[in-house]
Chains A and B, each alone.
Chain A
């Protein structure tokens, strides 16, 4: 028996990293990144998966996350590395965790990796987003098309960002890799692949605003439903899933 009061934690040794690709939709899209971290942690505990704890007096489960998703943006493709004490079968663990996740969160695929992977936040370099346009009035496809064309034709698009040190201007145009439109029935969606991560980052709400402004529809009661569809890393000059 362990005497109570004994600081018992050395960092535990992981046997593997379990990389999950998970959705964050419905009500859970309103969770902050910290909320998301906490909810993953609690769900993994509920599922009874063998988490590895950090050392110290306040042991935390060892996990690594992709760059934070802004509050209000859904995702079909978040990535989390969870360090486990014992090797597990990826499919079984997926089924198990899915039983304990709140509605809106679901593991769609997972794989077992060696435990010493670089942090996800360090390897993610790009993200793709879907902007779905809604409104009380009909969304005019031609306006959106023109808007996207204008964005792609420009050499620079300056965005103002409020930082603790004051307002900073960032040119996001070089960080936009691809944009396209998808329209069917009465729905219009814009897909964009942009830089994401510490080497350059386009915030989806900033880009959304630019889309509406370029299309001249910023005050037409149209609003955007944004979903992160993918997170990527460059490999041989090509975008790949992590």
Chain B
């Protein structure tokens, strides 16, 4: 039954930004629930503003609602004031479209974008009145599924989720819904349904695997216990983006969201091969969307939303082979209507600055480069093929074009990092600033240059060449931060850094095994929510959970693992082979670069062979893939 409108009204008058909880957006889909066979609720375990910015959610919403037999609605994690108000007045988690309780849906799909949203998943299940443990859920309870980048190590949430989709959802979501529909019609039990789901490629049902451990916490064995369970579960991948569904009737929010613009994904995957980067491994291979298709979709999205900005999205948009054509085409066509183009994640080079200059048409909002490490030696270790000269060239051009504020992204605590590398960060920042003073003066601009250095702490991630590497102990990270704070002072220099406790928990959960479930549950019981928010995060509330479950967080966060250890995610395959990751880990140690397969030879990462796909780059001939 629909949530009592009068009760809701009363609550909404007393919470921050109530517009987040009422739906009613342009292009939101309303259907009669009686008319469909399967009711799906997409649940995003963070605020409305963050969740609504997420492309994956838009894609699934559009695919599911295009079917006559399915209704798909949305729900987000209510901010704390709303969460508390809902609890105290007995309002369950509800969908924005029909305002029906989450528990009335057949399938609830969680999008897991980062590890620190896991307690929010539990909070949302709790608010929905649904048992948090998959094993405690009854026949009539909704099926809880999940997907997103975090599920490449699904183990920390294995206790809570019934079935997990590994990889890209465009095709698989329809197969899941079909299985559900037939199962429901055929009177299947929950177990039978899960078995049938497990037969869909890419679907991982955690309860169909048993994990055993050595006394030191390492894994002895991961063993399928059900004939339907595959080993490994291989990620799903869309072969051709031009054939894939793309949402053009985008739900246009009534309030400002984080990425409040039309989004066009120009390609998926990245083959640059930075050795710390999970996205660069798990989204392979690179598949570009044809420029005509991009333009056609952009036109439709702009028309249907009324947005005045298009973002050409990807993991490295300057790498898109038609980036320049597409930008100029869009501006020519829509510039008169005040439409602008934005390019996230640019490279450290002059081509990128040129592009930024062109699309921003003089709007000097700031420019960000990510050299990631302070010395050439360490940049070679992480396979970031960028030199100090590249940075200075890019900065020179940027300052001479009138930008006066640049942001530089670095990571500290990378494997093999020494004080030299930290000094390298300081030197690069100062050199960039000096370059800014010189160039601005020469260009006759009287503004003082500003360089902001943002340092994150290295977090080892599953399916990367650095997955075996420890994160530095927090004390050590603090000392390195202190070094930077001491040396990056002075006019025009700004330093921002990440909280080490947050990074530590992120590392622990990133490499966590199934035993982490008990810890997450305990943390939620102690009131942890919104752990990704600095204002809410409190590591002290997490620690008793580790003790209680007799788990050493340092084992997961700060210990180097061996190549022949069984890793918690060994039964999950993103297509990139373990041999390749080991080879890359070894090349890192000797500082050998591995080129991007778009521009150099095939790096034999295994993804094309294992998943029977091939890279698609629009400009060139198809690359040959080596076995």
Contact = CB atoms under 8 A, between A and B. Distances in A.
Interface string A50-72: 01010001111100000000011
B328 A31 contact: no
Interface in B69-87: none
B255 A35 contact: yes
A35 B327 contact: no
A51 to B, nearest CB: 8
B357 A5 contact: yes
B24 A102 contact: yes
B602 to A, nearest CB: 35
A46 B303 contact: yes
Contacts of B304: 46
Nearest to B21: A30
B361 A7 contact: yes
Interface string B341-361: 000000000000000011111
Interface in B252-275: 252, 254-256
Nearest to B302: A45
A32 to B, nearest CB: 7
Contacts of B601: none
Interface string B319-334: 0000000011001100
Contact of B308 (A43, A45, A134): A45
A27 B306 contact: no
Contacts of B24: 26-28, 102-104
A1 interface: yes
B19 A27 contact: yes
Contacts of A2: 331-332, 335
B185 interface: no
Given A5-B361, A35-B19, A30 B327 contact: no
B305 A30 contact: no
Of A4, A58, A72, the most chain B CB neighbours within 10 A belong to A4
Nearest to A3: B328
Nearest to A44: B306
Contacts of B332: 1-2, 4
Contacts of A6: 361
B6 interface: yes
Interface in B352-376: 357-363
B25 interface: yes
A53 B338 contact: yes
B252 A42 contact: yes
B621 interface: no
A111 interface: no
B555 interface: no
B255 A72 contact: no
B254 A39 contact: yes
Nearest to B13: A72
B254 A28 contact: yes
Contacts, number: 96
B305 A46 contact: yes
A57 B254 contact: no
B325 to A, nearest CB: 10
A161 interface: no
A191 interface: no
Interface residues of A, number: 40
Contacts of B12: 30, 72
Nearest to A205: B13
Interface residues of B, number: 39
Nearest to B327: A4
A34 interface: yes
A57 B252 contact: no
Contact of B338 (A5, A26, A59, A104): A59
A8 B256 contact: no
Of B13, B25, B306, B362, the most chain A CB neighbours within 10 A belong to B306
Contacts of B360: 57
B255 A32 contact: yes
Contacts of B13: 72, 223
Given A5-B357, A31-B254, A38-B256, A45 B306 contact: yes
B22 interface: yes
Interface in A179-224: 223
Contacts of B359: 4-5
A229 interface: no
B145 to A, nearest CB: 28
B191 interface: no
A58 B363 contact: yes
Nearest to A35: B255
A9 B336 CA distance: 8
Contacts of A100: 26, 306
B331 A4 contact: yes
Contacts of A31: 19, 254-255
Contact of A102 (B254, B331, B335, B338): B254
A57 B362 contact: yes
A26 B254 CA distance: 12
A188 B586 CA distance: 78
Contact of A71 (B9, B18, B303, B307): B18
B163 to A, nearest CB: 33
A53 B340 CA distance: 13
A4 B308 CA distance: 17
Interface in B143-195: none
B76 to A, nearest CB: 15
A95 B327 CA distance: 34
Interface string A1-19: 1101111110000000000
Nearest to B357: A5
Interface in A103-154: 103-104, 134
Contacts of A58: 363
Contact of A46 (B9, B23, B306): B306
Interface in A71-96: 71-72
A30 B337 contact: no
Given A7-B361, A57-B362, A42 B335 contact: no
B19 A45 contact: no
A102 B307 contact: no
Nearest to A223: B10
B256 A35 contact: yes
A103 B22 CA distance: 12
Of B19, B25, B335, the most chain A CB neighbours within 10 A belong to B19
Given A43-B306, A57-B361, A223-B10, A35 B254 contact: yes
A5 to B, nearest CB: 4
A218 to B, nearest CB: 15
Given A4-B332, A8-B361, A35-B256, A30 B19 contact: yes
Nearest to B19: A30
A61 B337 CA distance: 9
23 contacts: A2-B335, A4-B361, A5-B361, A6-B361, A7-B361, A9-B338, A27-B23, A27-B254, A30-B19, A35-B19, A39-B254, A42-B305, A42-B307, A45-B306, A45-B307, A45-B337, A46-B303, A57-B360, A57-B362, A61-B338, A72-B18, A104-B24, A223-B13
3 interchain residue pairs of minimum CB distance: A42-B306, A27-B24, A45-B306
